Structure 1
Amino acid sequence: MSRKNDGDHSSNLQQRILSAVLGPCLLRSRSPEKMSAVETERKTACVTGGNGFIASALIKILLEKGYAVNTTVRNPDSREKNSHFKGLQALGPLKIFRADLQEEGSFDEAVAGCDYAFLVAAPVNLKAENPEKELVEAGVRGTLNVMRSCVKAGTVRRVVLTSSAAAVCIRPLQGDGHVLDESSWSDVDHLSSGAKMSPAQAYPISKVLSEKEASKLAEENGISLVTVCPAVTVGAAPAREAHSSVPAALSLFSGDEEMLNTLKHITMHSGSLTLVHVDDLCRAEVLLAEKPAAAGRYICCSLSTTILQLARSLAAKYPQYNVSIDAVGDHSENPRIRLSSEKLVGEGFEFTYKSIDDMYDESFMEYGKALGILPF
């Protein structure tokens, strides 16, 4: 087995993106006098993008642990997208704020007075007409906008940034048996080498650049930042809408060719299909927020498999869906890479969902039905 260590990748693309995002903006230093000296019994956390799949599950866990939660959405008046908040508010104090990733300062009110900030919201548009602008520039700008609100608040003990395994594992591969850890970065130069950038290329570039710029801002302003890089995330959550990972993960049942192609693309370009359950991801994020010694990046992945292994397992477990193994096409039997969560486990974390059977349980299937992804 080999462990791959990669250095930073610089490119003209990266400089162009950062120039477009940062512009003339000046970052203000943290003001120590703003730090709250009063400890309250109930801690408050801000979770951005509360009507999203991961964010809604994270809000639920935080409320169940006794936190007060502030969350942000672009349109608080949308009943369709925000219907799950009523059930969550029954669990504990939850406030909803309007905020937009592209509007600097719009997160100030939601973050003010918070002990922790979980940056989950990010642009994900796999049909973007201008991926560089809509995904890369917008992703970096949005991350930095929320980070600046954390600096202004002066009370935030730790920021937890949700990145992606897509920022870790996409690069030219030679041979098999690679084990990637937090020192590994997806190759921005490789991803941007084509004549025209696709959304599938822009997404990992966005995650790499967002991580690196957030780290710079945190260091310059005395903010404690932890970044979590989750694998493809599955499972059930309170949100009534779920984009990308959930429909892709259920595409072998639904027959959605576009989403199945997304799953194939992930496997082909990253060398494996890596999975984590949303409950495990959210528990990991809370642990890393609360643990003072936690620092840097953490990969959150409990299973490295392949789309072929997934299809065979699901066909055997759920014969009523007539999963087509042939639809998977010509893919490797075994993963060429594995993502190591050794650093996360070293912090005392233990995964609950470790196998395909664990993750694709009845609750996930019922969630797929509730979202209209699965027919029955």
Structure 2
Amino acid sequence: MPVPGAVRMACVTGGNGYIASALVKMLLEKGYAVKTTVRDPGDMEKNSHLKRLQALGHLEVLRADLDEEGSFDEAVAGCHYAFLVAAPVNLASENPEEEQIGPAVRGTLNVLRSCAKAGTVKRVILTSSAAAVVPSGRGSPRGDGGGRVLDEETWPDVHYLVANKPVTWGYCVSKVLLEKAACRFAEEHGISLVTVCPAVTVGAAPAPKVHISVPASLSLLSGDEASLGVLKGAEALFGGVPMVDVDDLCRAEIFVAEKEASSGRYICCGLNTTVVELARFLAHKYPQYNVETNLSGGAPVVREAGQGRVPVQVQDPR
């Protein structure tokens, strides 16, 4: 079915992912025509939610693969905005350079090449991560925490991460390098690029399966020790647990797409808390789950985000 010329069209990569599925839904609700990409459109176990979302508006589901140059050409053709959400995530990888970092950078550049070729894309919105903002560790020249306020000018020390290989180092490095590669490409090809760096993202989304942030945030209720370890790892990494609701994140992404003055990077964070404070909150709200509150951790640090660019206040975890 053809799309009327006056309708805004957006491409969202990785439509069977958690954040991307919520973004597709919100764009459709706002009247956008949407193209989204998945590796196998015929896999209904992963993509059934996209068929349901087609009831909300014009949604095309197209095949594309981050590893295949040119496979995003059809998806971005005719689009006004391209939301780059898909990226490889493998926190347990034993070879992050080959399995996460390299594919993340190559995949991002593959989509950007398609955007440059399309000639219709007014702005590219890259979903990165607050992991591309946090300090690298106490041994790094920039990573002592110490109550510093991190902002969009802050970057981890990649050399420190590669040399010392702390937990999730591959994920952090992949986000930093794909961001910087995207910025260079955008500058060289005259593409308007805006990057959003979300904190730990929580909340309901259409995708049938969720990974990492949602199971981690629910681990105090579920009792899943592995997921609780991820939550505690985030606390150690950030010096607290910065969180954002997935709908707020999607609203932010659409806002920076439409706002002509948007540029550079934006941290998206609605709340800074701790594992202990989360446990106390959940124990009070859901007493039937017998949430363990006798957890090690520092004093709770809870702040609501203000307007505009949102700094992440990092507490010294020592």
1:262 paired with 2:230, answer yes
1:136 corresponds in structure 2 to 101
> SS state of the match for residue 90, structure 1?
helix
1:366 corresponds in structure 2 to none
Residues in 1 aligned to 2:220 and 2:237: alpha-carbon distance in whole angstroms: 19
Deviations 1:40-71 (A, max 9, x none): 31010000000001000000110001000000
> SS state of the match for residue 175, structure 2?
helix
Amino acid of the structure 2 residue aligned with 1:277: D
2:270 corresponds in structure 1 to 302
1:193 paired with 2:159, answer no
1:184 paired with 2:154, answer yes
Residues in 2 aligned to 1:308 and 1:192: alpha-carbon distance in whole angstroms: 31
Residues in 1 aligned to 2:234 and 2:304: alpha-carbon distance in whole angstroms: 14
1:105 paired with 2:105, answer no
Contact map agreement 2:135 2:144 (CA 8 A) in 1: no
Contact map agreement 2:22 2:206 (CA 8 A) in 1: yes
Residues in 1 aligned to 2:167 and 2:89: alpha-carbon distance in whole angstroms: 9
Residues in 2 aligned to 1:340 and 1:137: alpha-carbon distance in whole angstroms: 34
Deviations 1:341-371 (A, max 9, x none): 65447xxxxxxxxxxxxxxxxxxxxxxxxxx
Q: What fraction of aligned residue pairs are identical, expressed as a percent?
A: 62
> SS state of the match for residue 323, structure 1?
coil
Residues in 2 aligned to 1:162 and 1:175: alpha-carbon distance in whole angstroms: 25
- Structure 1 residues 228 and 97, CA gap change in structure 2 (3 angstroms): same
1:85 paired with 2:85, answer no
Gaps of 5+ in 1: 1-38, 346-376
1:332 corresponds in structure 2 to 298
> SS state of the match for residue 202, structure 1?
helix
Deviations 1:209-267 (A, max 9, x none): 11111000000000000000000000000100111111111111111111110111111
Deviation, structure 1 residue 323: 1.0
Q: TM-score, normalised by structure 2?
A: 0.91
Residues in 2 aligned to 1:341 and 1:154: alpha-carbon distance in whole angstroms: 36
1:212 corresponds in structure 2 to 180
Deviation, structure 1 residue 190: 2.3
Residues in 2 aligned to 1:341 and 1:105: alpha-carbon distance in whole angstroms: 41
1:45 corresponds in structure 2 to 10
2:37 corresponds in structure 1 to 72
Residues in 2 aligned to 1:178 and 1:341: alpha-carbon distance in whole angstroms: 17
1:127 corresponds in structure 2 to 92
Contact map agreement 1:298 1:341 (CA 8 A) in 2: no
Deviations 1:279-308 (A, max 9, x none): 000000001000111000001001111111
Contact map agreement 2:271 2:305 (CA 8 A) in 1: no
Deviation, structure 1 residue 205: 0.6
> SS state of the match for residue 50, structure 1?
coil
Residues in 2 aligned to 1:175 and 1:278: alpha-carbon distance in whole angstroms: 27
Say what the alpha-carbon RMSD is for the aligned residues.
1.8
Residues in 2 aligned to 1:338 and 1:204: alpha-carbon distance in whole angstroms: 24
- 1:25-40 to 2 correspondences below 5 Å: 40=5
1:250 paired with 2:218, answer yes
1:239 corresponds in structure 2 to 207
Contact map agreement 1:52 1:239 (CA 8 A) in 2: yes
Gaps of 5+ in 2: 311-318
> SS state of the match for residue 193, structure 1?
helix
Contact map agreement 2:8 2:79 (CA 8 A) in 1: yes
Amino acid of the structure 2 residue aligned with 1:109: E
1:96 corresponds in structure 2 to 61
> SS state of the match for residue 58, structure 1?
helix
Contact map agreement 1:181 1:299 (CA 8 A) in 2: yes
- Structure 1 residues 296 and 323, CA gap change in structure 2 (3 angstroms): same
